[in-house]
């Protein structure tokens, strides 16, 4: 029986990259995002390259919380079960606090945490009924510390998402439901707005996605991706004084 995987924010970037990896591994996919034309093109690509799998799509703005619950239930009805839900949709824009950009910071906070909460609620409701499932929350390396400059709201929202995932995991220990937190470092994507080589720590999209999928398939509780250099750096960043944190943002 094939694994059925939901990926939110799947129309581009890391979401689309994960979809390609999982499709190559023979997984059925339920993909959702706001940009349906990209989703449909991706679904056509995947089913053409891997004719044995099913790929279904839905339009979804994760900030429409009622729609999140509706879409997840539609996916379950069409596929029969949901084996894994990857809470991937997120927003990276922001500005220094107090510089007149509250709306941008508010949108980032709502998308990265409140919308993630809605996705977790919808997924966990289904998993509890099934008594099985794997919830994956994509957080960020930036969640480890409060970050300065334009990163402040983004980092705090990803820290909230990380705490949410860890709390759900603690609540479901010794059950068939698994919960994973994935903390990407700098990986080339539309959100980073950078090319590989633009910073010494920026990983190429292919390498980053490969590491993400590997960690997810192993159902690790918490994974820094790519593991090098982000896992050892995670120990260092917690000890850095605030004046050195400014150089990371």
User: Residues 220-234, buried b or exposed e (16+ Cβ, 10 A)?
Assistant: bebbbbbeeebbebb
Closest CA to 219 of 164, 183, 178: 178
Tokens of 14: 């890391």
Q: How far is residue 97's CA from residue 50's CA, in Å, rounded to a whole number?
A: 47
User: Is 186 among the residues known to form the active site?
Assistant: no
Q: Which of 154, 186, 224, 230 is catalytic?
A: 154
Tokens of 12: 């581009």
User: Residues 19-49, buried b or exposed e (16+ Cβ, 10 A)?
Assistant: bbbbbeeebbbbbbbeeeebbeebbeebeee
Tokens of 41: 């093109």
Give the active site residues.
154
């Amino acid at each position: 029986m094939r694994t059925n995987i939901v990926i939110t924010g799947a129309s581009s970037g890391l979401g689309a990259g994960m979809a390609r990896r999982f499709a190559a591994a023979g997984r059925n996919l339920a993909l959702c995002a706001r940009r349906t034309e990209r989703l449909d093109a991706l679904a056509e690509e995947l089913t053409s390259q891997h004719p044995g799998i099913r790929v279904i799509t839905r339009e979804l703005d994760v900030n429409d919380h009622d729609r999140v619950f509706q879409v997840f239930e539609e996916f379950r009805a069409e596929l029969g079960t949901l084996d894994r839900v990857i809470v991937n949709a997120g927003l990276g824009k922001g500005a220094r606090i107090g510089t007149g950009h509250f709306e941008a910071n508010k949108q980032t906070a709502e998308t990265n945490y409140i919308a993630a909460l809605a996705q977790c609620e919808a997924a966990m409701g289904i998993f509890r009924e099934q008594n099985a499932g794997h919830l994956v929350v994509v957080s960020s390396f930036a969640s480890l510390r409060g970050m300065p400059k334009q990163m402040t709201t983004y980092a705090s929202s990803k820290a909230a998402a990380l705490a949410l995932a860890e709390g759900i995991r603690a609540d479901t220990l010794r059950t068939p439901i698994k919960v994973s937190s994935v903390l990407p470092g700098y990986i080339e994507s539309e959100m980073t707005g950078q090319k590989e080589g633009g910073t010494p720590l920026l990983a190429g999209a292919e390498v980053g996605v490969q590491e993400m999928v590997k960690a997810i398939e192993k159902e690790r509780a918490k994974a820094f991706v790519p593991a090098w250099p982000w896992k050892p750096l995670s120990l260092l960043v917690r000890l850095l004084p605030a004046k050195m944190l400014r150089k990371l943002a």
